[in-house]
Chain A
Amino acid sequence: MIDTLLLLGHGFAVVLTPENLLFCLIGALCGTLIGVLPGLGPVATISLLLPATFALEPVGAIIMLSGIYYGAQYGGSTTAILVNIPGESTSVVTAIDGYRMAQQGKAGEALAIAAIGSFIAGCFGTVVIAFAGPPLSRIAQSFTSPDYFSLMVFGLVSAVVLANGSLFRAVAMIVLGLLLGMIGMDVNTGMPRLTGNFVELSDGVSFVAMALGLFGVAEVICNLEEDTSRSLNQARITSLWPSWSVLKASRGAITRGTLLGSLFGVLPGGGATMAAFSAYALEKRVSRTPSRFGKGAIEGVAAPESANNAAAQTSYIPLLTMGLPTSATMALMVGALTLHGIAPGPTVITRQPDLFWGLVASMFVGNIMLIIINLPMIGLWVRLLKLPYRFLYLLIVVVSAIGVYSVNNSVFDIYLMIGFGLLGYILRKLDAEPAPMLMGFVLGPMLEENFRRSLITGRGDPFVFFERPISLAFLLLSAALLVSVALPFIRKRREVIFQEE
């Protein structure tokens, strides 16, 4: 307890330097911005800004990129409430009751409760990371290669639960990602593999080119198909100070949403979107007057907004304690850490205390910044909504092109991004979400490495994965998860939940 507080104090010392405060602020601002703008999600934005963080210290880079992710959860609710356009998929349910409230002239109340709920949940989620992180990483340190292999398999299977659309195709996407992850130099022999004689591929496929192609470029094309001129039927913002009775009414919903969200964030395959949907469903169930939902119930805003923020924070736990990304956004964080020479895993907390505790402390700071950015300055963000997509997409394509080039100063990476843009667009048309592919790509090399080591320790016997209890447990969990997702009633539920974490 005391230790944790001391280390947290150290984290604050890391964050409260002018540069890191600035990075935190930039992250929070960017996050709010993309949260407000539909058609630009956290995955695309983080890959867009990844190249720009190269020049920074790793701590500053991660602080900024994280700010984008949880900042987007705040911004997404603003547009959901005011104009019935969820800026992010995590705010889809917020729009149901939030927009109704706005139509009834209670926009200010809804916005305030969303921000307050987000703030409480964000802080609580951060406390959970601070206290649960170190013990979990100690457990993870006792993992052997077979345990790791099975953990990665579990993580990948969970990614399937996240994916939208066909289960079988989602698994196929993971396998495709694994294969793409094999491209490049073989670590053990130094031989180039699957590079097709392109020298540029000997270090592997550029992570930024892949992420930007699959999410940035392909999304631009998808958005251009649709009619993007938004008819803004904007509600007037009333007083941003919620009355005491409203606060009291949402107290329970915020608490339940926070707890549920924290839990969903840690679970692989959970994630912020699922958390928001589940929290809304839970509120409706525990409410004494479920008929109010859909007609402007404040609980319908408070619970999902708290849940998605709590989950956005706690999804860092598996990443920082075990090196396991649970969503596409977390896979990007793995990429960011790796590009900065930090291997995500159980040793991050002990070997990179500045990074871990700095990040945790930055989340407190970031949440405080966000509530200020979002409440008093709300008018500014609403005005930004009027930025037409016909300008926004030009900005996206230009920054993508420069960004991907700047990573290796290589035109080849732009060609690679074009290829992945094409692939990503076609895959979307074929009802296959590219998010699991990115996870497979990130985990592929680690999976292979642990597979090799396991079989060496097991003298070539594949039963090594079933002999270790931890490994066996993960494999059984993965099997159980796959079976349960294939069951019809859970499958139906999954179909409601969209992608883009």
Chain B
Amino acid sequence: MKITVLRGGVDFYSGLLLVSIAAAALWYITSLEIGTALEMGPGYFPLGIALVLGGMGLFLLVRGLMVEGAPVGRIDARAMGLILLSFLAFALLLDRFGIVIAILAQVAIASLASREAVFWQSLIFGAVLAAGSTILFVWLLGIPVSVLP
């Protein structure tokens, strides 16, 4: 997946990211008491930080539009999506189906993210990981999760 390069893509997109984060933070901060320098409310310091962040983001955004700069690195959507999805699967399955199934599902999905992985080998390795994790984390370290459904 290739992101179309605006002028100075890296600057533009990092600026956009920072401005959006700062805007979201400012939106939350409006509900906080700001206070004064002598008697600071909970919102005083975060407000300052968010304003600085927003300012820096805006600078990057504008610079990205005006000056030609580095393009954004190629994003490997497949590797990214599958790895993140594998964690999601683990999180969703853990409470309902226990650690063994959660690990096997995670390994199966994560295995698809690599061009070099061989699926059946990964699954065998996943079974080893599931057994090892059960012994180490559940039985020895006592993490409160069920092993099987």
A397-B106 contact, Cβ under 8 Å, with A175-B53, A421-B87: yes
Whether A421 and B13, one on each chain, are in contact in the complex, defined by CB atoms closer than 8 angstroms, is no
Mask, A405-433, CB within 8 Å of B = 1, is 11001010011011001100111111110
A459-B42 contact, Cβ under 8 Å, with A176-B21, A179-B53, A397-B86: no
21 CB contacts below 8 A, A to B, read A168-B60, A179-B21, A193-B43, A194-B46, A217-B83, A389-B114, A390-B114, A390-B117, A394-B110, A401-B102, A405-B94, A409-B144, A415-B91, A418-B88, A421-B84, A425-B75, A429-B73, A430-B10, A431-B70, A460-B36, A461-B37
Apart from A179-B50, A394-B122, A418-B87, what are 10 other A-B pairs with CB-CB below 8 Å? A172-B57, A188-B42, A191-B42, A196-B28, A225-B79, A398-B107, A401-B102, A405-B143, A409-B143, A418-B91
Indicate whether B41 reaches chain A with its CB closer than 8 angstroms: yes
Whether A390 and B87, one on each chain, are in contact in the complex, defined by CB atoms closer than 8 angstroms, is no
Q: List the B side residues contacting A429 at CB < 8 Å.
A: 72-75
Please give the distance in Å from A132's CB to the nearest CB on chain B: 33
Mask, A136-180, CB within 8 Å of B = 1, is 000000000000000000000000000000001101100110110
Within residues 417 to 467 of chain A, which ones have a CB less than 8 A from any CB in chain B? Answer: 417-418, 421-422, 425-432, 448, 451-452, 455-456, 459-462
Q: List the A side residues contacting B10 at CB < 8 Å.
A: 430-431
Please give the distance in Å from A54's CB to the nearest CB on chain B: 9
Q: Which residue of B18, B38, B99, B106 contacts A459 across the interface (Cβ within 8 Å)?
A: B38
Q: List the A side residues contacting B111 at CB < 8 Å.
A: 394
Whether B76 and A175, one on each chain, are in contact in the complex, defined by CB atoms closer than 8 angstroms, is no
Q: List the A side residues contacting B94 at CB < 8 Å.
A: 405, 411
Whether B87 and A406, one on each chain, are in contact in the complex, defined by CB atoms closer than 8 angstroms, is no
**Which residue numbers of B lie inside 8 Å of A, CB to CB?**
10, 13-14, 17-18, 21-22, 25, 28-29, 32-33, 36-38, 40-43, 45-46, 49-50, 52-53, 56-57, 59-60, 70, 72-76, 79-80, 83-84, 86-88, 90-91, 94-95, 99, 102-103, 106-107, 110-111, 113-118, 121-122, 125-126, 129, 133, 137, 141, 143-145
Whether A182 and B45, one on each chain, are in contact in the complex, defined by CB atoms closer than 8 angstroms, is yes
Indicate whether A52 reaches chain B with its CB closer than 8 angstroms: yes
Please give the distance in Å from B119's CB to the nearest CB on chain A: 11
In the complex, how many residues of chain A place their beta carbon closer than 8 angstroms to a beta carbon of chain B?
66
Whether B14 and A422, one on each chain, are in contact in the complex, defined by CB atoms closer than 8 angstroms, is no
Least CB separation from A421: chain B residue: B84
Q: Which residue of B22, B33, B56, B141 contacts A406 across the interface (Cβ within 8 Å)?
A: B141
A221-B28 contact, Cβ under 8 Å, with A398-B129, A398-B133, A411-B94: no
Q: List the A side residues contacting B70 at CB < 8 Å.
A: 431
A169-B60 contact, Cβ under 8 Å, with A401-B87, A460-B38: yes
SS class of chain B's interface: helix, strand, loop or mixed? helix
Indicate whether A290 reaches chain B with its CB closer than 8 angstroms: no
Q: Which residue of B45, B50, B76 contacts A224 across the interface (Cβ within 8 Å)?
A: B76
Please give the distance in Å from A333's CB to the nearest CB on chain B: 22
A402-B133 contact, Cβ under 8 Å, with A229-B116, A421-B87: yes
Tell me the bound Cα distance from A189 to B40 in angstroms: 10
Please give the distance in Å from A23's CB to the nearest CB on chain B: 15
Task: With a 10 A CB-CB cut-off, give which of A391, A399, A422, A459 has the most chain B CB atoms.
Answer: A391
Q: List the A side residues contacting B115 at CB < 8 Å.
A: 224
Q: List the B side residues contacting A168 at CB < 8 Å.
A: 56, 59-60
Q: Which residue of B40, B72, B145 contacts A455 across the interface (Cβ within 8 Å)?
A: B40
In the A-B complex, the 9 residue pairs with the closest CB atoms: A460-B38, A186-B42, A414-B91, A460-B37, A429-B73, A224-B79, A430-B14, A390-B117, A182-B46
Q: List the B side residues contacting A452 at CB < 8 Å.
A: 40, 45
Whether A393 and B110, one on each chain, are in contact in the complex, defined by CB atoms closer than 8 angstroms, is yes
Tell me the bound Cα distance from A422 to B91 in angstroms: 16
A194-B73 contact, Cβ under 8 Å, with A189-B41, A397-B86, A430-B17: no
Whether A414 and B49, one on each chain, are in contact in the complex, defined by CB atoms closer than 8 angstroms, is no
Whether B37 and A462, one on each chain, are in contact in the complex, defined by CB atoms closer than 8 angstroms, is yes
Tell me the bound Cα distance from A417 to B88 in angstroms: 10
Tell me the bound Cα distance from A448 to B125 in angstroms: 47
Mask, A195-227, CB within 8 Å of B = 1, is 010000000000000000000010011001101
Indicate whether A388 reaches chain B with its CB closer than 8 angstroms: yes
Tell me the bound Cα distance from A198 to B40 in angstroms: 24
Mask, A53-95, CB within 8 Å of B = 1, is 0010000000000000000000000000000000000000000
A448-B83 contact, Cβ under 8 Å, with A179-B53, A191-B32: no
Least CB separation from B126: chain A residue: A394
Please give the distance in Å from A466's CB to the nearest CB on chain B: 15
